[in-house]
Chain A
Amino acid sequence: TQLLEQSPQFLSIQEGENLTVYCNSSSVFSSLQWYRQEPGEGPVLLVTVVTGGEVKKLKRLTFQFGDARKDSSLHITAAQPGDTGLYLCAGASGGGADGLTFGKGTHLIIQP
């Protein structure tokens, strides 16, 4: 069974600060996705990273896939209250449609 460990589980910071969320595994994934989930809603895809070492930017969010494709990070610059939510990483083993392996998530609160 492939496992994805996310850290931290909870993070509360002030508006304007920077933060990094980590997603680690001992397994290799063919791709890794980051989702954001708001209360009462389903997860919404933010980004997919496929190549080892790949870096993708989405406005103030920077996503990186580790060289060995076992880990990933999400860095938010100058966090805003609108960034508040549950951030989930999810890995795909590749090949078939056997679903995604999700981390347990990081609950992020950005205080004004």
Chain B
Amino acid sequence: NAGVTQTPKFQVLKTGQSMTLQCAQDMNHNSMYWYRQDPGMGLRLIYYSASEGTTDKGEVPNGYNVSRLNKREFSLRLESAAPSQTSVYFCASSESNRVQPQHFGDGTRLSIL
């Protein structure tokens, strides 16, 4: 089973460029999340989608947009990338809108020059 699949695995952008990070899960989960992980900061929630058709801001949403395309897919878009957005981005999913174990993808390593 693939679980949570993120693409791409690595990306280098120039300041001001735009990009969409893709995430898909095959576990029929209702809730999906985007986190960023920075050294010394742990994982911080960017946006989440409790169910298909809904999205909400997390702790650090500025500079990002999301789309819950369908139940399987949840994308994260950087409209105008900034060096401060250099990070490792993780997508996660959970079964329902009650607290459930979250299943993580292997991350997208993004560098903004």
Contact = CB atoms under 8 A, between A and B. Distances in A.
Interface of A: 1, 30-31, 33, 40-45, 48, 88, 90, 92, 94, 96-100, 102-105
Contact of A42 (B41, B48, B90): B90
A104 B99 contact: no
A61 to B, nearest CB: 16
Interface stretch (B14-22, B63-71, B75-83, B101-109): B101-109
A88 B102 contact: no
Contacts of A41: 106-107
Contacts of A88: 42-43
Contacts of B27: none
Q: What range describes how many residues of B lie at the interface?
A: 20 to 34
Given A96-B50, A97-B94, A104 B40 contact: yes
20 contacts: A1-B59, A30-B99, A33-B101, A33-B102, A40-B106, A43-B90, A45-B102, A48-B101, A92-B99, A94-B99, A96-B97, A97-B48, A97-B50, A97-B51, A97-B97, A97-B98, A98-B45, A98-B48, A99-B45, A104-B40
Given A100-B43, A104-B42, 4 more contacts: A45-B102, A92-B99, A97-B48, A98-B48
Interface of B: 4, 30-31, 33, 35, 40-45, 48, 50-51, 56, 58-59, 90, 92, 94, 96-99, 101-107
B111 to A, nearest CB: 15
Contacts of A97: 30-31, 48, 50-51, 94, 96-99
Contacts of B103: 45
Contacts of B33: 99
A21 B103 CA distance: 23
